[in-house]
Amino acid sequence: MFKRSSFFTASIVGLALLALSVTPNAPAIAQTNSNWPAWEVPVRLSNEGQSSWFPDIAADPSGEVHIVWSSGITTGPGQAYDVVMYTKSMDGKLWTTPRDIAALETKGAVTRPSILIDPLGVFHITYRRYMIYYAHAPVQAIGPQTLSAPYEVSTEENGYFSKVFRDNAGRLHLLHTEDVFNPNCTGCFQAFHRSSDDDGLTWSVPDNIWPLPIGVAKPAVAVDAQNGLHVMFEVGRGGDLGQVPEPASIAYLHSLDGGLTWTQPLFMSPQSGGFSARNPAIAVDANQNLIAVWQVAMNEEDVVNYQVSTDRGETWSEPQQIPGVWGAWSVYNGKTDTYDMITDAQGRVYLVLSGRRSPNEQTLNLLLLIWENGVWSAPQPVMTLEGDVPEWPQLAIGLGNRLHLVWFQREKANIFNSDRGQYEIWYAQATLNAPAVEPVPWPTLPAQVVSVSTPTPAGFKATATPQPLLFTNQAEPQTFYKENDYLLIALFSILPVALLVSGVVAYTRWRRQ
């Protein structure tokens, strides 16, 4: 819930931010806000009283918008499920009642769904309960009865992030992170890539594309016009629970042959002096330049940097601060947050993030910026919050000129307490200064397509295709915890010491009597 919200259009705000000065090495803020989208009032999508977080969004060629997110459902004593919730809308105003399309017997996991809708009308989804699964369904009839049998992407108990995407040749790609046992870096998650040339029916053997003995999280992906695959990660000693611990770094790597071979990682942020960076995002602009963005996650230097590559990621410009934007880190140390970028048909790049418009601001905004002709627009506040925290924003573009934005919101009382939190999924849409595209209606499905499928039981272990062995080495045994469990672990860890000290004090007093 939010206390105060502000919604701006180009006609209301253009004046104050134009006076912001920039350093000589940084580009000036664009002197026009004519391309700012006109936002409609945001709406809450999640069910009241059902804590929800980590959404993803996709718009299909018919104009319909699809949103998924992580949540949990209890159906009775001892019957709790981690679920993927789903809703859709044709106009962004009227939404279907949210329903669970995948339910897994709970172990305190976060399902973290990622979705893609391809031009053939196939809805692709990945989700998790420590093991990561992939499934697909016809976009006209998405539900638990129509999703394909789940394909096991990761090994048991060890997967976290996943992202499915498509290149310009129609090949599907799937990235995921997974804990691979390494005695020199316990709990460090590696990154794996696989591809499919038959729209997800079969997949290649997974390839470990992260050769370093350190963990990764939050994969960000862009595909260039020549089908080059460009990936960024948040890097540190970990990768579970949606993050890596401090200090974190940002790394980039790419494949220019469809995922067959990958470059060595290039670290874009400093790796010394306690420097920490988070929230990678990457996109391709109108000139096929790569634009990479990341946050300097330090209280004394809470800014948002960007870099540009004009040669498909071979070399990069030095990091520069995006003018007029500061991060959220000084107000809220959000290790599980992310940024997102998307490119429209004209090559304009849209960046969305949770941040501030001055270094002294104590409220957080959802900010939208536009990269065009080598300069950034002034930041446009989509929503301004007092106390509550917007997190994990995701963008989609539909019908050429409809910008769709989804995020989740932590309420002030339980920002750091997810077990008690009543987090909510919010959505907003805007009209872009871009040509509209005529919707492409999907053909009507035969009735038997829906009726012949049966629901997959929760806790399934079925696979759509034979699953290759991922690793020859044994994954490290782990126990998984909710966020607050770590506090209990710490308390129990110091309990023996506290008892020992108490005993010594009592004995000393007894001897003195």
One DSSP character per residue, 52-98 reads -EEEEEEE-TTS-EEEEEEEEEEEETTEEEEEEEEEEESSSSS-PPP
Retrieve residue 492's tokens. Answer: 């129990």
Radius of gyration of the chain measured on its C-alpha atoms: 23
Which range (6-10, 69-73, 273-277, 459-463) has the least confidence?
A: 459-463
pLDDT interval class at 369 (50, 70, 90)? very high
453 pLDDT more than 90: no
Share above pLDDT 70 across residues of the chain, in percent, rounded to a whole number: 78
460 pLDDT more than 50: no
Per residue in 334-354, pLDDT (tens digit) is 999 999 999 999 999 999 999
Q: How far apart are CA 156 and CA 61, in angstroms?
A: 36
Q: How far apart are CA 494 and CA 140, in angstroms?
A: 55
Average pLDDT (113-125) is 98
Which range (114-118, 148-152, 501-505) has the least confidence?
A: 501-505
> Which pTM was predicted?
0.82
pLDDT of residue 386: 87
| Mean predicted lDDT score pLDDT of the chain | 84
pLDDT of residue 3: 38
Per residue in 171-182, pLDDT (tens digit) is 999 999 999 999
Per residue in 178-204, pLDDT (tens digit) is 999 999 899 999 999 999 999 999 999
pLDDT of residue 468: 30
pLDDT interval class at 418 (50, 70, 90)? low
Average pLDDT (47-71) is 96
How many C-alpha atoms does 182 have within 13 Å on its Cβ side? Answer: 17
Per residue in 237-292, pLDDT (tens digit) is 999 999 999 999 999 999 999 999 999 999 999 887 789 999 999 999 999 999 99
